[in-house]
Amino acid sequence: MDMFRRVGLVSLLVLSTVLFAEAQPANVMPRYKNFLNQHVYGDMAESWCTSEIRSRKITDGNSNNCKDVNTFIRATKEQVKAVCGKATGDYTSGQPFSVVTCKLHSGERQPKCEYKKGEKSNRYIRIACDQGWPVHYDEGYIVVG
């Protein structure tokens, strides 16, 4: 019985170490969550721009103004996070991602923002990373793959 306790304890320590290594720094967490909310949706369809931007309460900065352009990366958060590795800085993906770009059609402030049907394309993405976590998407960087 004593051996089973030791094996269990060692397993628990290994699991704790793995989870701690992947833990998000507290100062990065809000920016990472905002990045995911604004830019990552694996099943995003071109026709969902208005409804998704409204439901996610995406606005231009800290205002209630409509965002002129918002791009959704059609991937999992793990696939996008892999672009960062464990580093800090700006990184461009090694392979193209499918993205849907939504452009404002009418309206100035939420909830009256109406978006055109999105444009789907494949492109390399450039993201800013902080300690291995994506925190900003450079929508203006466009290299088609």
CA atoms of 83 and 4, how far apart (whole Å): 40
**Given 28, 32, 38, 39, which residue is catalytic?**
39
* Phi (first) and psi of residue 36, to 5 degrees: -60, -45
User: Does the active-site annotation cover 136?
Assistant: yes
Q: Are 127 and 79 in contact (CB under 8 A)?
A: no
Identify the DSSP state of 117.
P
Q: Are 73 and 99 in contact (CB under 8 A)?
A: yes
List residues bridging with 98 in a β-sheet.
Answer: 122
**Given 31, 77, 117, 136, which residue is catalytic?**
136
* Phi (first) and psi of residue 79, to 5 degrees: -65, -40
* H helix count then E strand count, the chain: 4, 8
Q: Hey, which residues are catalytic here?
A: 39, 136
